[in-house]
C-alpha cells in the first residue's frame, strides 16, 4: 500500500543533507536542508494521505466529500455544458490534519495532538520554506539556528505522527476483516440473528 522506496529515499535525503551541513555549515547548506526536509514532508504527507484513504475506503469509512477533496480536483460546467475538472492542491498542513482525522475516525485509539509545540514549530518552519523558495530580499534567504531547529522538530514530529496514523489504519483494517470473518462464519453456521442483521444491512444500503 505504501511506496516504501520513496519513503526511504526521502528520509535518506534528509539524513544526508544534515550530514553535509554538519561538516560544512554554510548559508547554502542551511537552505538546502530546509528544502530537503520539506520535499520529504510533502512526499510523506502524500503517502500518508493515500495510505489512509485506501484503508478507510476498504472498510467503508471514507465519505464521498472526503474522497472528492482528496482527489484534489474540483468540477464545473463550462459554457458548452461539459463537465470540466480543475486541479485543486491541498495545502500540506491541511492534508496532514484531514488524513489524521479520517484515520482517527476509523480507529478511535489514534490520538495525534495538534496542540503540541512541535506542530506550532512545524507551521513556523513552513514560513521559512516559503520565504527561501520565494525570496524578495537577501534577508529572506537567511536561515537561523532557530529556523533549522523548528524545521527538524516539526519534521520528526510529523514522521512520528504519520507512522502512528498508518499503524492505526492497519489495525482498523485488521479489526474490520476479523469482524467480517466472524460474521461470515456465523452466516455459514446459520445463526438466525446474524442472518437477520445481514439482511437488514443489505436492505438499508
Give the mean model confidence (pLDDT) for residues 179-194: 62
N residues, the chain: 205
Cβ contact 124:150 at 8 Å: yes
For residue 8 the three cell numbers come to 526511504
- Say whether pLDDT at 37 is over 60: yes
What percentage of residues in the chain have a pLDDT greater than 90?
61
Per-residue pLDDT of 164-176, as tens digits, reads 999 999 988 887 6
* pLDDT value of position 42: 95
Q: Which pLDDT tens digit goes with each residue over 19-30?
A: 999 999 999 999
Least Cα distance to 125 among 90, 163, 100, 157 occurs for: 157
- The structure's pTM equals 0.80
Amino acid at each position: 500500500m505504501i511506496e516504501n522506496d520513496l519513503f526511504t529515499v526521502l528520509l535518506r535525503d534528509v539524513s544526508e543533507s544534515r550530514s553535509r551541513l554538519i561538516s560544512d555549515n554554510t548559508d547554502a547548506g542551511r537552505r538546502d536542508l530546509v528544502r530537503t526536509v520539506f520535499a520529504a514532508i510533502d512526499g510523506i504527507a502524500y503517502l500518508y494521505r493515500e495510505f489512509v484513504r485506501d484503508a478507510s475506503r476498504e472498510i467503508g469509512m471514507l465519505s464521498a466529500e472526503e474522497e472528492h477533496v482528496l482527489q484534489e480536483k474540483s468540477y464545473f460546467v463550462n459554457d458548452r455544458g461539459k463537465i470540466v475538472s480543475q486541479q485543486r492542491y491541498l495545502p500540506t498542513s491541511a492534508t496532514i490534519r484531514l488524513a489524521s482525522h479520517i484515520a482517527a475516525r476509523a480507529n478511535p485509539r489514534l490520538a495525534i495532538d495538534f496542540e503540541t509545540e512541535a506542530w506550532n514549530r512545524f507551521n513556523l518552519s513552513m514560513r521559512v520554506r516559503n520565504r527561501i523558495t520565494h525570496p524578495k530580499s537577501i534577508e529572506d534567504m537567511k536561515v537561523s539556528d532557530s529556523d533549522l531547529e523548528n524545521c527538524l522538530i516539526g519534521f520528526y514530529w510529523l514522521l512520528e505522527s504519520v507512522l502512528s496514523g498508518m499503524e492505526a489504519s492497519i489495525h482498523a483494517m485488521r479489526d474490520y476483516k476479523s469482524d467480517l470473518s466472524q460474521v461470515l462464519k456465523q452466516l455459514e453456521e446459520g445463526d438466525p440473528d446474524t442472518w437477520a442483521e445481514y439482511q437488514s444491512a443489505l436492505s438499508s444500503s
